[in-house]
């Protein structure tokens, strides 16, 4: 029989506090309207802390965060994890260096996801702020953010993400059409930096489209 997974309560409390703090700030930016968005943090090789489904992300406390295994199954709780838990655990499985996943629904992300859906990606090129993404050292680089079709069926989205990764294409974040963005990083500060940079860059691309004849 497999050993039951045990949750380190101190690690969980720290993870929950870090998630709640980040969520409060992102909500204050207006990026988590109407209970949307979800957030998670890897606790160890087998477990992650994640927001409980349907909670107001601007007012999270420790009781609004639960634990799941790397396949999205609840551990030590009867609560329902985020409806999009599968997208978080997929990132932890596919990217061993990823320890935090942030998903938001800003207006910029939502509008851009619709506008660029037909092209299947937003190509970022020539922007100094690309250097805010770990591994990018110059504006003379290309950063593609794919836009995947929205669906309520997470395995379908997961297979699109898997296909992108399996083609060997770099992946630092993705948009979902009419929905929002997912991004991740090695810790909360790096993931926050990625999210803020991408929000800014996607906003710039939207402005260029608006201003271009
Ligand atoms: C409130 S609509 C947004 C949801 O459908 C979903 O996309 C979302 O981001 C939040 O879902 P949740 O289950 O609370 O993690
Ligand atoms: Zn969402």
User: Ligand 1 within 6 A of 141 CB?
Assistant: no
Residue 80 CA to residue 54 CA, distance in Å, equals: 9
CATH topology of domain 9-211: L-fuculose-1-phosphate Aldolase (3.40.225)
The annotation status of 103 as a binding-site residue, yes or no, is: yes
Tokens describing residue 125: 């090129």
Stretch 94-116: mean pLDDT: 98
Q: What's the pLDDT tens digit per position in 110-139? A: 999 999 999 999 999 999 999 999 999 999
3 state SS of 81: strand
Domain boundaries, the chain: 9-211
User: Ligand 1 within 6 A of 83 CB?
Assistant: yes
Average pLDDT of the residues of the chain: 97
Model-level pTM greater than 0.95?
Answer: yes
Ligand 1 atom closest to the Cα of residue 179 is 7
Torsion angle of the four alpha carbons 129, 31, 147, 68, in this order, in degrees rounded to the nearest 10: 110
User: Ligand 1 within 6 A of 38 CB?
Assistant: yes
Ligand 1 pocket test target in 33, 35, 177 with most atoms within 8 Å of CB: 35
The annotation status of 139 as a binding-site residue, yes or no, is: no
> How large is the ipTM?
0.98
Q: In what order do the strands lie in the sheet with 100-104?
A: 74-75, 65-69, 47-51, 38-42, 100-104, 180-185, 173-176, 142-148, 121-125
Q: What's the pLDDT tens digit per position in 151-171? A: 999 999 999 999 999 999 999
Query: Over 90: is that where the pLDDT of 69 sits?
Result: yes
Residue 41 CA to residue 36 CA, distance in Å, equals: 18
Residue 1: what pLDDT? Answer: 67
Residue 4: what pLDDT? Answer: 76
Residue 66 CA to residue 12 CA, distance in Å, equals: 9
Residue 213: what pLDDT? Answer: 82
Residue 87 CA to residue 101 CA, distance in Å, equals: 9
């Amino acid at each position: 029989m497999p050993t039951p997974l045990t949750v380190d309560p101190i690690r969980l409390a720290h993870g929950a506090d870090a998630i709640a703090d980040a969520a409060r700030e992102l909500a204050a930016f207006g990026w988590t309207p109407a209970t949307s968005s979800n957030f998670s943090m890897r606790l160890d090789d087998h477990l992650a802390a994640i927001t409980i489904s349907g909670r107001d992300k601007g007012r999270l406390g420790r009781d609004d965060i639960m634990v799941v295994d790397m396949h999205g199954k609840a551990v030590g709780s009867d609560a329902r994890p985020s409806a999009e838990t599968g997208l978080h655990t997929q990132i932890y499985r596919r990217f061993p260096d990823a320890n935090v996943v942030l998903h938001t629904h800003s207006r910029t992300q939502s509008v851009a996801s619709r506008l660029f859906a037909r092209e299947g990606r937003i190509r970022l090129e020539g922007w100094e702020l690309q250097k805010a993404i770990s591994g990018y050292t110059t504006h003379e680089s290309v950063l593609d953010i794919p836009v995947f079709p929205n669906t309520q069926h997470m395995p379908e989205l997961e297979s699109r993400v898997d296909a992108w990764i399996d083609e060997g294409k770099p992946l630092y974040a993705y948009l979902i059409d009419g929905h929002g963005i997912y991004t991740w990083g090695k810790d909360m500060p790096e993931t926050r930096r990625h999210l803020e940079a991408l929000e800014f860059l996607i906003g710039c691309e939207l402005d260029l489209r608006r201003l271009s004849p």
